[in-house]
Structure 1
Amino acid sequence: MLPYLCIEVLQEIGSQLPNSDQKNLRAVCKELNVAIDPLFYTFFVLRGDRMRGEDGLKIIERLAAGQIGWSHHCKTIHILPGSKAEKGEAIGPKWYPTNAEFPNLLVTAIASMQNTQTVMWNVRARDPQWVREAICDSLSTLSHLTNLRLQIEGGFRLQLAPLPRLTKLRIETMDWQPVHPEEICRLVGRGHNLTCLHLTGHCDWSQVWTMVRTTSLRPSPSTRIRLKDVRTRIVTPDLITYLSSYSGLERLTLEKFEGSQPQIDSYADAFFNDVLPQHSQSLVVLNCPAAYEGRWCFRMEVANSILQLRKLEKLHISVSAVDVIDAEPAVNAVTLLLNTAALLPALRLLHISPASRRRHFDIGLKTGIEDFTSHIESAAVVYTDAHYYGLAPAISDEGDYSTVLVYRILDPESPRIAQVKGLVSQKERDEDEEW
C-alpha cells in the first residue's frame, strides 16, 4: 500500500528515516523514488579529496550538466577540504584534480544547485587558491542563498563577492591568524537583509560592528541594519555602541570573552545599563557567561535591568565564588538570581555558571539552589552544568504538601527537559551537528 499513499505522507515518512534508508526506499518503485528524491538530495557534501577519484569527477560532471538530483533538490551544501596531505606531498593533487578544466567545472556544478539556501564552508589556507576562487565565484550565482557559515583556518584573503540576499552570516576563525576585516565589512555592508550575524574566534571585529552601525540601507538612507541575532566572543566598545544604537534584538550570545579583566569589566556597566534596556521588549535569549569573576557576573546592581526583559525565555549568566561560598542568604548571588528569575514571566531556562573553578564552588552553587525556597511559582528550569532543577512543593514531616516551593533535581530525559532543549530549534541543532 505504501506507493498508493499521497506524496505528502510519503515524504513525512521519509523525513523520519536516515539517508541510507531513504536510498533503499528510492529503489523500490518509481512512485517512491519521486517522493523521496527531494529528501535524499537535500544535503550535498563536497570534499576535496573525493574529487580526485573517477567517481567524484563523474558526480561533478553530472552536477554541472544538471543530470543528478542535487541539481534540483539541494538545500544545503557543506564544503570540506578532505583529508590532509601527507608529509612532502603537494596539496593540489592530493585534494583536487589539477586539470585546466576543473575550476570552471566546479563553478558550474555548484551553480547548478540553484535551490540551495545554506552553504557551510570549512575553508583552509592550505586549500589551493584556485579552489577558493572557484567556490567564491559560484556562491554569487546562488540566487536563493540566505545562510552562509564559514569556518576559517589560516590567514588569507577570501575575496567573497557581496551576497545581498543573505539573512544569516556566521564566521568562525579557528586560530590566531588574522582575518581581513575589510572583506567581512564588504560582505556585511551589502547585507541589506541581514538579521543574524555570528562572529566568533580570536579576532577583533570592531571594524565590522562599526560598519553594521553606520551602513545605510538602500533605497532608504535613514534605515540601518538592525540585527535580531548576534553572537561573538570579543566584546569591544564598538560592539557595545552598536547594540545601544537600536532596539529589536531577540537573541544575544556573548561567549566567554577574552581580554584583560579591567578592560572587560569596564564594558559591563554599559552593557547592563545601556544595552539591555534598549532590547527589553524583544530579547528572548540572553547568554553572557563570564570568563572571570568580576562585574559581568550577576549582582544586585544588574537585577533591575534583567527584570525588564519580560519576553526572556533563556538566560545564561555567571556568579562569583565570593558571592556564593559562605555568603549570607540575604546577599547570596544564587538566592538573588533565583528570586529575580521567578519574576520573569516568560523564562523557561536559567543556566547558572561559576565564573571560576574555586574549591567548593560547585558545592556552594548546588547548596544555594537546593536550599532556596519560594512562594512564587515559576516554570523555569535551572541548569548548572551538572544538574537540571525544577520547583516543586516542599514536603512537611507529616507528608502533607505545603505552600513553600523548593528546587528538586529533574530527570534529564524527562519531557520537561526536552521542551527546554527545544528553545534551540531542531533545524539549528541539526546544522550544528553537521557542522
Structure 2
Amino acid sequence: MPLLNLCVELLLEIGNELPNTGQKNLRAACQYTDYAVAPLFFSSVVLKSNDLRRESSIWGMENLASGQSGWSVHARTLEIGPGTPKPEGEPVSNISEAALQELFTSALRSLSNVRSVVWVVTDEDPSWQRDVVSNFLRSLPLLTSLELSLERTDDFSLPRLSGLRSLKIMNPGRLPIHLTHPDSRAIARSRGLTSLNLSGFRDCATASAQLWSTLLEREIRLREISTTSISADLLTYLASYSGVEKLSMKGLGGGHYDHSNELAVTFYETVLPQHAESLVELTCPNIHENNWSFGAHSAGAIAKLRVLTSLDIGVNAQDVVHVGVGTNALDLLFKTVADLPALHTIAVSACHASPHRAAVEAAILSAMRSQRVPSRQQPYQLKLVEHDEHRPEPVVALAQDNLSFMRIVKFFVWLCLLRFCKSVLR
C-alpha cells in the first residue's frame, strides 16, 4: 500500500510507535507525511532548568521565542526541570541574568497551546525562574493538568490556577514542605478539578484537613484521588458524595494504632459503599498490620464493587499465617472477588512493617499458584507486590485483553512500515 494512500490518523498511529528519530525520518519522506506527523513530533517540549546557559539551550529558547517553530503550534505538553548535566566541553553562553530571564520568558510565552505541564522544582532554581513559570501557568488558557515535583526544596508557593482538571503534587524526599501544605484555596479555585494526587507529604495533617474541608464546602467532587496522608477529614469528604472512580491511599496505619483502626472501620462501613457503583480501581496497601488490611470486616464492602477492575490490598499475618488453609484471609479474598464481573487485576501485599512479612509473602505466592476460578472466561492477573512506603507509585499490572489489543495494533503498524520500506526501495 503506497504511503500516500494512508489516512492522517493511521500515519499518526504509525508515528506514535516510532522513536523521535523515526518520526523525524517519516516527516522527511514527503510533505504529506510531514503534515501528518508534525502534531506528534512537536507535541512535547522539555526545558532543562539547570542547563539554560548552554549554547544549545540558548538556541532552542531563541527558536521557541521566534514563534515560528512547530512547537509553538503543536506543543501540548511541557516539562520543566533539571536534566542530566551535559559534557563540560559544550560551550556556555555569557548571556546576562536579565537577558536570560527575558529569553526564558519569551520562549514560554510562545507555548500558548500547552495543556499539560510537568514542573520539577529544586532549591537550585533562581527565584525569578519560579516567578516566570508561575506567571506562565496562570496565563495558559487551556491548561488542564499540572504535575509538581518538589525536590530538595522546603519553600514553595502554589500558583492559583482556575482551570485545572488534574493536579499532582509530589514530595519525593518526604521532607517538611512549606507549601501552605498544600494551599487549599489555590487548589479549590479549579472548580472543574476531577483528579488530585498528593504524594510524600509527612507534615501536612492540619493543612490537608483544611483542603478536604474546602473541597467539601465548594462541592468539588473528585473522581480520582491519590494520597499518602489519611485523615478523618478525607473520609468525611469521601462520604459526602458518590462517583469516585480511582482511589489510591498509601502509608496506611502509619499513625496511632487505635485511631488508624477507627479510620479503617469508617472507610469500609461508611465511605466505600458510597462509591460501590463507580469505583474502578482501589489501591490501599498498608505499612502496619491493622483493619486496613483485607479480612472478614471488609469482605462485604469489597464484594459490592461490581465495576472494580483492579484491587491492590494488604493482608495481616494473624489472618494468614496463624489460620488454617481454607479459612484464612487469602481464601476469603479470592472467594469474595470471584463474583466481581469486571475484576481482572489483583495485587496482594504483606504489610511493610510486619515481622512475619516473609511468611505472609510465601503464603500469598502459594495461594496465587493454586488459585483457580473456572467460571471466569479470563484468568486474573495476580501479582505479589512488595510495597515500599518511600516509593510514590504502585506496581501496575495490565489486563490481558489490553495487552492483546496493543500487540495487534503494533503488528499492523509494523506491517504498514514494512510495506512502505519495500515501496521506497523499489
Shift, 1:157, TM fit: 4.0
Match of 2:335 among 328, 336, 339: 339
Q: Does the CA-based 8 Å contact 2:50-2:83 persist in structure 1?
A: yes
Residues 111 and 139, structure 1, Cα contact 8 Å, conserved in 2: no
Does residue 418 of structure 1 match 2:419? no
Aligned with 2:186: secondary structure?
A: helix
Give the secondary structure class of the aligned counterpart of 1:46.
strand
Quote the Cα distance in structure 1 between the aligned partners of 2:186 and 2:36: 38
Partner of 2:380: 381
The match for 2:187 is 188
1:228 pairs with 218, 223, 227, which one? Answer: 223
If each structure's helix is expressed as a fraction of its own residues, which one has the higher value? Answer: 2
**Aligned partners of 2:143 and 2:357: how far apart in 1?**
47
Distance 1:260 1:26, change over 3 A: same
SS in structure 2 of the partner of residue 35 of structure 1:
helix
Question: Structure 1 regions of 5+ residues with no counterpart?
Answer: 86-92, 217-221, 388-411, 423-435
Secondary structure of the residue aligned to 1:291 is coil
1:317 and 1:247 map into 2 onto residues whose CA distance is 22
What is the Cα deviation at residue 382 of structure 1?
4.5
Find the aligned partners of 2:371 and 2:222 in 1 and give their Cα distance.
37
Aligned: 1:22 with 2:13: no
Alignment of 1:365 onto 2:361: no
Report the counterpart of residue 142 of structure 2 in structure 1: 144
For the residue of structure 1 that corresponds to 2:125, the secondary structure is coil
**Which deviates the most, 308-317 or 49-58?**
49-58
Tell me by how many angstroms 1:326 deviates.
4.6
Superposed counterparts of 1:18-417, under 5 Å: 18-83=19-84, 98-175=96-173, 176-181=175-180, 184-203=183-202, 204=204, 206-215=206-215, 224-257=219-252, 258-355=254-351, 356=354, 358-371=357-370, 376-377=375-376, 379=378, 381-385=380-384, 415-416=400-401
Q: For residue 324 of structure 2, what is the amino acid of its counterpart?
A: E
TM-score normalised by L of structure 1: 0.80
CA distance in 2, matches of 1:206, 1:419: 46
C-alpha separation in 2, matches of 1:239 and 1:95: 50
For each residue in 1:108-132, what CA deviation from the matched residue of structure 2 results, as whole angstroms up to 9, or x when unmatched? 3112112211100111122111111
What residue identity is the alignment partner of 1:178?
A: I
Equivalences, count: 387
CA distance 1:11–1:416, shift in 2 (3 Å): closer
1:405 is aligned to: none
Deviation, 1:57, is 1.2
Contact conserved, 1:213 with 1:224, CA < 8 A, in 2?
no
Does the C-alpha gap of structure 1 residues 35 and 179 become closer, same or farther in structure 2, counting only changes over 3 Å? same
Gap change, CA 1:95 and 1:354, over 3 Å in 2: farther
Report if aligned partners of 2:157, 2:179 keep a CA contact under 8 Å in 1.
no
Counterpart contact for 1:151–1:173, Cα < 8 Å: yes
- Higher strand proportion, which one? 1
Q: Following the alignment from structure 1 to structure 2, what is the Cα–Cα distance between the partners of residues 160 and 94?
A: 32
CA distance in 2, matches of 1:96, 1:259: 52
**Deviation string for 1:376-404 (max 9, x for gaps)?**
547451523279xxxxxxxxxxxxxxxxx
CA deviation after TM superposition for structure 1 residue 265, in Å = 2.3
- Give the partner amino acid of 1:128: P
**Does structure 2 retain, via aligned residues, the 8 Å contact 1:324–1:368?**
no
Kept in 1: contact 2:62–2:103 (CA 8 A): yes
Distance, in Å, in 2 between the alignment partners of 1:336 and 1:61 is 62
3-state SS in 1 of match to 2:301: helix
RMSD: 3.1
CA displacement, residues 241-261 of structure 1 (integer Å, 9 cap, x when unaligned): 211121111100012333343
Alpha-carbon offset, residue 174 of structure 1: 2.1
Kept after mapping to 2: 8 A contact 1:314/1:348: yes
Per-residue CA shift, 1:323-355, capped at 9, x if unaligned?
Answer: 112522353111100000012122111211122
What is the identity percentage for the equivalent residue pairs of Structure 1 and Structure 2?
33
- Quote the offset at 1:234 in angstroms: 1.4
Counterpart CA distance in 2 for 1:421 and 1:352 is 26
Cα 1:33–1:46 shift into 2, 3 Å: same
Q: Deviations over 1:408-431 (max 9, x none)?
A: xxxx99945836999xxxxxxxxx
Return closer, same or farther for 1:234/1:37 CA change in 2, 3 Å cut-off: same
Separation in 2 of the partners of 1:320 and 1:131?
48
